Amino acid sequence: MTTPKLFGTDGIRGTPGQEPLTPGSIRKIAAGYANLIKKIAHGKKNPSVVLGKDTRASCAMIEQALAAGLTDVGVDVEFLGVLPTAAVAYLTKHLKADGGIMISASHNPSDENGIKFFTQAGEKLSEKEEEFVENNIGKRAERSRKGTVKSFAKAEAEYFAFLVESAGRPKLAGLNVVVDAANGSAYKVAGVFASLGAAATLINNKPDGNNINEDCGALHPQQLQREAVSMKAACGIAFDGDADRVVMVDEKGKVVDGDGLILALAKEMLQQGKLNKQTVVVTEYTNTAFDDELALVGVKTVRVQNGDKYVYAEMRKHGYSLGGEQSGHIIIGNNTTGDGILAAIHILTLLKESGLPFSKLTEFTKKPQALINVEVKEKKELSTLPLTSAAIAAAEKRLQQLKGRSLIRYSGTQNVLRIMLECNDREEIKKLAEEITAAAKKEVGV
């Protein structure tokens, strides 16, 4: 199998049964990954890998293909079952495995899937490590014996215990919350909120293999908004398919994205002396009003490119203790990846201790943003598209006059062109974004 670039922003994604997610290619990819972890494990001939998945029907095929490819080159595989991505990252370290794999396409539709790889430290692969895997696809690693396969029955319980301990064993009695599990990998562990004393009503927690993210969860919180208001809940909580992101809903039904949640956490951690170096790491998509709000309390904002692995890399490099994305990936403390469930527990703890309404706790005024996703047939270089590049140039010239900004790029996880414009003139950026959208649809739209 030859391909110039398999890895996107967050692992490998595609349509199961089509390249690169065919059984044969997955086995070859597994061999490439085996070469990497054996190198990291200093030539260990029989390293171990833990393997988790979300609720997509296609996970079974990918799981078996990965196991076949790994065991064939001497890697021992331990199945974790259905768990959030953050659980796989944690259990990779906790069980002292040499690597970890999560089968999930996160927030993507059920007919898509993906593979996320972790090092023995529970960290997502660096770009250099991804390149190593791609260069070693299909290469047979030396083995002393064929690998073994077994299941770890306590995976869910171990992760559950970690969540409670990591959040400081909070007592959430008296909080009435609605939790949308997106029919994904959080459908069981989302019950942790009830175990901490909250009156938690779970919705979209009955996966059938095809309903993950379908009109529910972090990308589609409309049902959660209705339920939270109807039940007079303190707030609503929504995860995506692999629960590495979270968005929430206040008592009035207003959606609070990662910007609002990270802002609330930053202020609380600052007061508690837990915000290392008084700095928060965010990405290019975070609203610039976020920076302004934190500057008022003496907190610095550092921006990196989109992707929670880049947020984590910056946090690790400088010893920061909080970072995340507008989309709801939030990394707290020493964790290595976005953990929607853990972030939600921290937010609920803050809500309970503050005694404030959720709307007040997460209140801040954003600068207007226009956000449009355009589905594309292929990701052609934007400079080669005359209509689109002209519309972008015109928008950027106007935004410069308005002291605004733009971020226009292809998604690293979907066949989508993401268009984001930001400035104080809401109507103007809406018009400019629509002009870029119209041009893109003509030239590369589905």
Residue 342's alpha-carbon distances to 167, 335, 381, in angstroms, are 7, 10, 38
Edge-to-edge order in the sheet of strand 369-375? 369-375, 416-422, 405-410
H or E element in which residue 320 lies: none
Strands 99-103 and 48-53: parallel
The reply to whether omega before 20 is within 30° of 0 (cis) is yes
Report d(CA 258, CA 256) in Å as an integer. 7
Is 249:224 a contact under the CB 8 Å cutoff?
yes
Which contacts qualify for 199-203: CB closer than 8 Å, 24 or more apart? 199/175, 201/176, 201/177, 201/227, 201/231, 201/233, 203/178, 203/179, 203/227
Amino acid at 359: S
Is 122:86 a contact under the CB 8 Å cutoff?
no
Strands 246-249 and 235-239: antiparallel
* Residues annotated as catalytic (active site), given as ranges: 106
Residue 417's alpha-carbon distances to 19, 208, 378, 408, 429, in angstroms, are 22, 30, 10, 7, 17
Report d(CA 47, CA 40) in Å as an integer. 10
Q: Which token pair is 125?
A: 């692969």
Edge-to-edge order in the sheet of strand 279-283? 300-304, 279-283, 322-324, 330-332
Partnered with residue 150 across adjacent β-strands are: 78
Report d(CA 306, CA 311) in Å as an integer. 8
Q: Which residues fall within 8 angstroms of residue 431, CB to CB, at 6 or more apart?
A: none
Report d(CA 217, CA 212) in Å as an integer. 9
Q: Which residues fall within 8 angstroms of residue 260, CB to CB, at 6 or more apart?
A: 362, 363, 364
Is 402:428 a contact under the CB 8 Å cutoff?
yes
Report d(CA 125, CA 38) in Å as an integer. 14
Residue in 47, 190, 212 with CA at minimum distance from that of residue 114: 212
